[in-house]
Amino acid sequence: MTSGRALREVVVQAAHGAAIEARTGEHLIVTDVDGQQIGDLVAFNLDDRTEWLDMVRTRSTLYRLRLRLGDRLYSNWREPILELVEDTVRIHDLLFPPCDPKRYAVTWGQPGHRNCLTNLTEALAPYGITMWQVPQPLNLFQNTPVLADGRLGSGVSPSRAGGHVTFRALKHVVCAVSSCPMDLTAANGWMITDLKLTVRA
């Protein structure tokens, strides 16, 4: 579908984060290299860092918790910032925050565990974005549906090796993705693996 020339590519090492830039009209492809790996995705407008990909506005503009092909994803200014143009997995989460140091320290007694908030912060540091500016991510390939009683389910990611999503950038953005290091639940199939970020024309 997106057969444009690959312009940039970066591997997100297992349990780490990485960033990549996409200009308006370019395509960002996030690939689950080995399968069952959640990727926390955030994006900032490089022309105005007070604008970012906002799961809250995306939900409350689409009036949905699930993405469909062709959906525009919205920024905190409720402007389209990404468009979903390809999706081989179709299970993503728009509700969870990134896992963070305190979650591992308090709940699991594992201070110092790698976590998505730190991964995203590290990846975005060169852009002058600090930890408390990291918004709620789009949790790609994460299987945590709302249950009938309002609790959030905790399923294993259904994504298979090579599973991917493609977004068209509707603004000039830097995207950061964290390979979610959660290895204390089944979320990532008990194995943390690489993701790949590709930008095509």
Partner 1 sequence: MSDTGIGREHEVQWGEVVSEVTVPAGHGRAFEARVGDHIIVTDLEGAQVGDFVVFNADDLVEVLDTARTRSGLTPMKVEVEPGRVEAYWQTSVYLHVGDEVSSNMRNAMLKVITDTVGVHDLLFAPCDARLYRDVYNHAGAHRNCLDNLTEALAPYGIRSWQIPAPINVFQNTPPQPDGTLAVKPSVSKSGDYIVFRALQNLVGALSSCPMDLSPVNDRRITPLRLTVRRGWR
Contacts with partner 1 by CB under 8 A lie at 50-51, 54-57, 59-61, 63-66, 76-79, 95-97, 100, 102-103, 106-108, 132, 136, 146, 148, 150-152, 184
Rank residues 84 and 199 by Cβ distance to partner 1 and give the closer one.
Answer: 84
Nearest approach, Cβ of residue 191 and partner 1 (Å)? 18
Q: Strands 173-179 and 92-93: what pairing?
A: unpaired
Measured from the CB atom, is 63 or 70 closer to partner 1?
Answer: 63
CB burial readout 41-64, b (16+ within 10 A) else e: bbbbbeeeeebbbbbebbbebbee
Closest approach of Cβ 85 to partner 1, in Å?
20
Residue 60 or residue 88: which is nearer to partner 1 going by CB? Answer: 60
A 10 A CB-CB count for 192 gives: 21
- CB 89, min distance to partner 1, A: 15
**Three-state DSSP class for residue 197:** strand
Minimum Å gap between C-beta 92 and partner 1 is 11
Residues in Cβ contact with 104 at an 8 Å cutoff, skipping those fewer than 6 apart = 110, 111, 112, 113, 115, 184
H or E stretch including 21? strand 17-22
Tell the smallest beta-carbon distance from residue 156 to partner 1 (Å).
Answer: 15
End-to-end CA distance of the chain: 12
Q: Which is nearer to partner 1, 35 or 135 (CB)?
A: 135
Nearer to partner 1, 2 or 76 (CB): 76
β-partners of residue 41 are 138, 177
